[in-house]
Structure 1
Amino acid sequence: MRHFLSGIALAAVIATGAAGGAAAQNLFAPAVYVNDSAVTRYEVDQRMRFMQIIGAPDASASAAEQSLIDDRLRVQAARDLGVQITPQGLEEGMEEFAGRAGLDAAGFIAQLERGGVEAGVFRDFVEAGTVWREVVRARLLPRVQISDAEVDQELQRLIETPIIDRVLLSELIIPAPPGQEGQALALAERISGSRPTEAQFAEAARQYSAVPSAEAGGRLEMLALDDLPPSLRPIITALQPGQTTAPLPVEGAVVLFHLRDAQGTLRPGAREQVLDYMVLRLASPAQAAQLAAVTRSCDDLYVQAGPDVAPQVRRQTAPQGQIPQAIALRLASLDADEAGVVPAGEGADLVMLCSRQPALAAQPDVATTALPPDGVENAVPRQSAPGIPTREEVRSQLFNRKINTAAEGLLADLRADAIIRRP
């Protein structure tokens, strides 16, 4: 990275030295207006360099210009709401961002300046992001809600997602002899930033890779995930098929991996469920069917059954394998708060499903009868299975996903309403 930053700084010096007076004046001319706020060409150049240094996937001039347009819109939206950032808030934001690179703000600014980027570029970037969070909090936060049903669905999706244990990779290893580390890293960043397809990655491997797999377009045979170095496993499992890693500098080289496919197996117990259900024995199938027709929820069953019959309702929470077969079969066809009838000799059982959830994610706060304790609490695992997030963690993930999507939509609306013009 030091060589890379030095290379950028050298390029900046050369470019500055080559520019004449007219060219320098032109550099500060407006490139685009955002609601009459000018974005200069110099700002675009500085933002582009900044994006290159922080490793943005696309650090082109057009991407830098769009980034600045969006920041203007964010700051203008904050101003319209009366949102301002205090000097302390700005300093805290800069420290937090620099901390992601393992530096303090002063150290991060020093690296930027060595790369030809002024400190003000960093401050403007952090200010726009900080005030935008306040805009999002004020305008969108009250609208974003996560239901229990959404949490249940996400938990089930996570549990039923196979655990990756085998991968098909392609590799591209670019030599980085002493003094050429910066060029190798820049080449790797261009390849990775272009989001190559499998065919494009293979072509790049044939052209630039320095290992025997280059002849095969970098393709490797199926690998067990456990055979990869421990530090590499989370990087690979974070990819979706068709994606390429960010450049990975190693001694004497820069490495890229492209994930062609991933295979896995279901975690033990992924298909097992815990059911929360109710059973009420009645004198006849007709009586059970009549009560089932008017009952709208598990709580409503106590009301519809009446005070004399309600104490006979049995509410239980149990794994599928522990439920009597006839009742389990009927429950299998029911949705939550739906009732059915199971013949039982001359009488019948009214059965109602209250909820179903994966056994691996079952929580100890499943609703239970208001009647005397019946051992329901002991039927539910006290902790989530290893690797399965808690309900609150899932709720937080879903909330962040929703709020980010809403924020992108708000920014898109601001773009649509803005007057963006060129000189």
Structure 2
Amino acid sequence: MRQILLGAAAAAMLAGVAAAPMPGLGPQAAQAQSSNLFQPVVYVNDRAVTRYEVEQRMRFLQILRAPDTSRAAAEKELIDDRLRAFAARQVGVSASEEQINTGLEEFAARGNMGVDQFTQMLGQSGVDRQTFEDFVTSGIVWREFIRQRIIGMVDVSDAEVDQEMQKIVETPRVTAVSLSELIIPAPAGQEAQAMALAEDIVARTRTEADFAAFARQHSATPSAQNGGRLPTTALANLPPSLRPILLQMQPGQISQPLQVQGAVVLFFLRDTQGTLRPGAREQVLDYMRVRVATPDEAARLAASSDTCDMLSANTSSLPADRITRQTLSQGQIPTGEAIRLAVLDNNETTVINYGGAVDLLMLCSRRGALVANPPETPAAPEGQDGAPNPDALPSRDTVRNQIFNRKVGAAAENYLAELRANAIIRRP
């Protein structure tokens, strides 16, 4: 990673500060001020982080509307950048000019801008291009380090996919929301002030009471008198553009500022109401039935068989018509067996004594019917508003990728924590 002290942008900024001293400061004081700007505030494995870098990162985070733009947050990010760069150097990972330029273009494109346009916008806010480049370069180098050193160690099992899909199935689909609103007027020429106020409210809101107090003070709607509270509303009645934002929120959370014509809008999600997908409670059971002569024989088999595979091996000498393994939905299982299986966990057994023959039952697995046999997602969206089928489940590949990305992210954070614990971090 390039050091700002060595960059042309830093030299230009240094010259600019020296040429434009603060009012009331003499030449010597102005020169001292410009020098102090580049004094190290912390060393990370003997790599300095300067006060200038911290201030630049703070401004950059503000432009990105990061949740935390404090000096402490900016300093922590820069320390982490130094640690990431240290890890990358240890294994010979670096970013080429081509990779950096591509990264800059992709980042600027998120705001529908080119690199030059984005850099000009940053400059107007006092952020130089080197700060932008360092931020992007750090991300490129860290991603390459993760690809080389972490991704190969991460795996996702079928059981993890099943568990995640079952969680999705058991999570009610949101059908109604209880919202509070806060609408800040933003007349022409005052959009920036309105957005700044909204961002300040987001940063300072921790509870519904906090939001209600801000709504009474700043909201320009009749609901302000009631702390912005709106009646519970069907999700389908809300604008389609708003629904995905609300569905990503949890009760007790505030939205990020939404800029609309003439205003900036905030929402606080108080509660949600929902229903389960059709068939969400249905189960599919994989189980074995072994018919033996006596209860004692059944007990011996149960004691020596910890899994269905072991039970199959231990009964391999029995006639085939006395051993059955099947996977059925609950409604397809005979009532007598279904009652016995209902109280079993995976690989547990029960004995049914008919007075002549004895059946040993072992539950191999219990899965949600929608997980075992997921419905096909419609090829075309349904509904007049073009919304997808709300009952459709994500594919197993999609869920597997989501789990994989989570595990990679967690592994990367753990590695960074180890780097931080082992680093020599000192202040001048």
TM-score (norm 1): 0.86
Counterparts of 2:320 and 2:144 in 1: how far apart (Å)?
Answer: 51
Greater shift, 148-157 or 315-324, is seen at 148-157
What letter corresponds to residue 65 of structure 2 in structure 1? Answer: G
1:7-46 to structure 2, matched below 5 A, reads: 19=22, 20-46=30-56
User: Contact between 2:347 and 2:362, CA under 8 Å: does it hold in 1?
Assistant: yes
Q: Distance in 2 between matches of 1:308 and 1:24?
A: 90
**What TM-score does the superposition give when structure 2 sets the normalisation length?**
0.85
SS in 2 for 1:58: coil
Residues 192-251 of structure 1: CA deviation (Å, up to 9, x unaligned): 133432111111111111111112211122122112111101111111111111100011
Q: CA contact under 8 A between 2:288 and 2:364: conserved in structure 1? A: yes
Verify the 8 A CA contact 2:18 2:34 in the aligned structure 1. Answer: no
- Please state whether the residue corresponding to 1:177 is helix, strand or coil: coil
1:63 aligns with one of 40, 59, 73: 73
Going from structure 1 to structure 2, the CA distance change for 1:223 and 1:339 (only over 3 Å counts) comes to same
Aligned to 2:382: none
Does the aligned pair in 2 maintain the 1:289–1:340 contact within 8 Å?
A: no
Question: What are the equivalent positions in structure 2 for 1:404-415 lying under 5 Å apart?
Answer: 404-415=409-420
Partner amino acid, structure 1, of 2:202: S
Q: Which amino acid aligns with 1:163?
A: R
Query: Which deviates more, 139-148 or 56-65?
Result: 139-148
Residues 295-347 of structure 1: per-residue CA shift (max 9 Å, x gap)? 23222233211244246422211111111111112222222233322223510
Indicate the residue corresponding to 2:109 in structure 1. 99
Does residue 1:393 correspond to 2:410, yes or no? no
Partner of 1:402: 407
Which structure 2 segments of 5+ residues have no match?
1-15, 23-29, 378-389
CA contact (8 A) 2:54 2:78 kept: yes
Which of residues 167, 191, 199 in structure 1 aligns to 2:177? 167
Aligned length: 394
- The answer on 1:333 being equivalent to 2:362 is no
The 3-state SS of whatever aligns with 1:295 is: coil
What does residue 165 of structure 2 align with? 155
Q: Any conservation in 1 of the 2:375–2:392 contact (CA below 8 Å)? A: no
CA distance in 2, matches of 1:186, 1:393: 37
Question: How far apart are the structure 2 equivalents of 1:82 and 1:311?
Answer: 63
Amino acid at match of 1:317: T
2:349, 2:361 within 8 Å by CA — same for their partners in 1? yes
- Partners of 1:298 and 1:127 in 2: CA distance: 53
> Cα RMSD over matched residues?
2.4
1:212 to 2:222 alignment: yes
Matches for 1:239-278 after TM superposition, within 5 Å: 239-278=249-288
With 307-316 and 187-196 compared, the bigger mean Cα shift is at 307-316
Q: Distance in 2 between matches of 1:254 and 1:210?
A: 11
Which residue does the alignment assign to 1:181?
A: 191
Q: Measured at CA, do residues 311 and 292 of structure 1 come closer, stay the same or move farther in structure 2, by a change above 3 Å?
A: same
How far apart are 1:72 and its partner, in Å?
A: 0.9
Q: Deviations over 1:6-55 (max 9, x none)?
A: xxxxxxx9999563443233222222222221111211121111111112
CA distance in 2, matches of 1:15, 1:240: 50
The answer to which of 337-346 and 208-217 deviates more is 337-346
Matched to 2:171, the amino acid is T
Shift of 1:413: 2.1
Structure 1 stretches of 5 or more lacking a match? 1-12, 364-380
CA contact (8 A) 2:100 2:136 kept: yes
Aligned match of 1:126 in 124, 136, 151?
136
Q: Percent identity?
A: 56
1:72 aligns to 2:82 (yes or no): yes
